[in-house]
Amino acid sequence: MKTKKGIAKASPYERAEAKLKKAVESAAPGAALGSEVALAKACGVSRMTARKAVDALIARGLVERRAGVGLFVRDASAVKRAIVFLAGNLLWEPAIRAAGEVRRAASEKGAEVEIRDAHGDMDEFIRELKAYFTSVIDWIDGVFKGVKDEMCGLEWGRLYETYRKTAYNPERVWRRVEELYGDEFVTYRRGIFEYVLGGEKEARLLNVRVFSDKEKKQVYARQTADAEKRGVSNCPLCAVGHEASAKRIWKIGEMGADHVTAWSKGGATDISNCQMLCKTHNRAKGNR
Ligand SMILES: [Zn+2]
């Protein structure tokens, strides 16, 4: 009853749309629906009303209008095919990931998806990108014989562009990497790779803790003279302890130079930031 009342209240347009929709739903995909004139007659509405109803179904992807031929029920497989546009300014890796996600989700629903970026063909873009990544990875494999945790997340794209034309001896490169990993003065291991690639010229990449012999001698002389005057050890850490070494005067060869303020905390490698410690204390501080 309600339905009848509802239909009775519906406008001619709504009646035409409902009738058309029923016709579309019961027809096979691709079936011809005839012309708008024929539809208008069949539904008992004006041609204007029929056109408005058809336009609404077209907008919903249920019907297509083929110029000069007439109206057709849309092929379901055509409805399932979609083109996805990704913003052109997405970062490469996320763009690829997003494209993959879209494809996967679509294929689960049986749909085909063609992916394009805002500037053109995404498939081509992804192909080129994969080829690029492959060249970068091949280059890394060729230059570095091993793998270190610190290699993860380096700016390999930039390093590849900067150093790919340089010839390297992989044996020597890796030997140097290992040596620098074992060097207690290297405080920034992530810098080792670019340091070696660049021919070991930029020590700043490593945040190296190093004092010159001249600096060490100067600091040693000052510290030792002061300690002898006060009757304590010339290692300031021994001097404040209660060990047998509290009054020991170490020889310069038994001591090492230490940054009073650590390199990693912005301390400079100059004499104002240098103290000589006995080897035991220096090692203990260096490991901190
Ligand atoms: Zn000491």
pLDDT tens per residue across span 2-58: 444 444 567 777 777 787 777 777 777 778 888 888 878 877 778 888 888 888 777
Domain match, 56 and 88 both: no
Domain match, 150 and 196 both: yes
In a domain, 137, yes or no: no
Q: What is the mean pLDDT of residues 243-264?
A: 87
d(CA 128, CA 134): 10
Handedness of CA 195, 198, 201, 205 (dihedral sign): negative
CATH assignment of the domain containing 55? 1.10.10.10
Which helix (H) or strand (E) covers residue 116, if one does? Answer: strand 113-117
Domain match, 197 and 230 both: no
Domain match, 27 and 91 both: no
Identify the burial level of 5 via C-beta atoms within 10 angstroms of its C-beta, where 0-12 means exposed, 13-18 middle and 19 or more buried.
Answer: exposed
| Tokens standing for residue 37 | 């004139």
Confidence of residue 79 (pLDDT cuts 50, 70, 90): very low
Handedness of CA 236, 240, 241, 242 (dihedral sign): positive
Domain closes at, from 157, 185, 206? 206
Domain match, 50 and 85 both: no
pLDDT recorded at residue 263: 57
Domain match, 188 and 158 both: yes
The region of weakest confidence among 30-44, 158-172, 179-193 is 30-44
pLDDT recorded at residue 89: 46
Q: Structurally, how many domains does the chain consist of? A: 4
In a domain, 232, yes or no: yes
In a domain, 134, yes or no: no
Residues 6+ apart with CB under 8 A from 165: none
Residue 18 CA, ligand 1 centroid: distance in Å: 95
Residue 251 CA, ligand 1 centroid: distance in Å: 12
Residues 6+ apart with CB under 8 A from 65: 54, 58, 71, 72
| Tokens standing for residue 11 | 């406008």
d(CA 277, CA 234): 8
Domain match, 273 and 229 both: yes
Domain match, 224 and 240 both: yes
Domain match, 24 and 46 both: yes
In the chain, the largest separation of any two C-alpha atoms, in whole Å, equals 119
CATH assignment of the domain containing 231? 1.10.30
Domain match, 199 and 219 both: no
Smallest Cα–Cα separation from 130: which of 170, 99, 84? 99
Residue 218 CA, ligand 1 centroid: distance in Å: 18
Average pLDDT, whole number, for the chain? Answer: 80
| Tokens standing for residue 13 | 């347009």
In a domain, 246, yes or no: yes
Smallest Cα–Cα separation from 31: which of 59, 70, 82? 70
* Structural domain span for residue 25: 2-74
Domain match, 86 and 29 both: no
Residue 239 CA, ligand 1 centroid: distance in Å: 7
Residue 207 CA, ligand 1 centroid: distance in Å: 25
In a domain, 9, yes or no: yes
